[in-house]
């Protein structure tokens, strides 16, 4: 059985509240879980101690049993000092989309034409 430590969403519409749970990876996101390990309330300010609460001992137990964490829970554990910081690499994040690239090319072409026209006008004088 593959165990995941992940977030299960609760709360009403537009008012999210999450439980940090240990669950079988085959179960639905908000479905059956094995154990509640903490809570996360994204509506609270980032510096609030109530924003993320975790039972560190139980999380370490589940990690010892081979449980995998999701990216968001990994970030919480890194901030708490439980896990070492993982190197993340997303090389496509900084690359603009197709339309933005086309606009940049058009802008560069217009700038080149304007510069060429300015040099032609200066050489004629």
What the block records as the tokens of 123 is 């050489």
Q: State if pTM tops 0.85.
A: no
Domain residues for 26?
A: 3-80
In a domain, 74, yes or no: yes
In a domain, 36, yes or no: yes
The secondary structure of residue 100, as a DSSP letter, is H
Burial readout 8-38 (b: 16 or more C-beta within 10 A, e: otherwise): beeeeeeeeebbbbbbeeeeeeeeebbeebb
Tell whether 56 and 98 lie within a shared domain: no
Tell whether 72 and 96 lie within a shared domain: no
pLDDT 10s digits, 69-115: 998 999 999 988 888 887 777 777 778 888 999 999 999 999 888 88
pLDDT 10s digits, 54-79: 999 999 999 999 999 998 999 999 98
pLDDT 10s digits, 8-50: 999 999 999 999 999 998 988 888 889 999 999 999 998 988 9
Tell whether 41 and 67 lie within a shared domain: yes
Tell whether 68 and 10 lie within a shared domain: yes
């Amino acid at each position: 059985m593959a165990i995941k430590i992940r977030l299960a969403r609760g709360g009403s519409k537009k008012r999210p509240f999450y439980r940090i749970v240990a669950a079988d990876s085959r179960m639905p996101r908000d479905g059956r879980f094995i154990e509640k390990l903490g809570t996360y309330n994204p509506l609270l300010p980032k510096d609030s101690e109530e924003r993320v609460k975790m039972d560190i001992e139980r999380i370490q137990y589940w990690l010892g049993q081979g449980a995998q964490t999701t990216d968001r829970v990994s970030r919480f554990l890194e901030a708490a000092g439980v896990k070492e910081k993982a190197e993340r690499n997303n090389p496509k994040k900084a690359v603009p989309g197709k339309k933005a690239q086309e606009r940049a090319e058009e802008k560069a072409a217009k700038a080149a034409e304007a510069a060429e026209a300015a040099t032609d006008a200066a050489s004629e004088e």
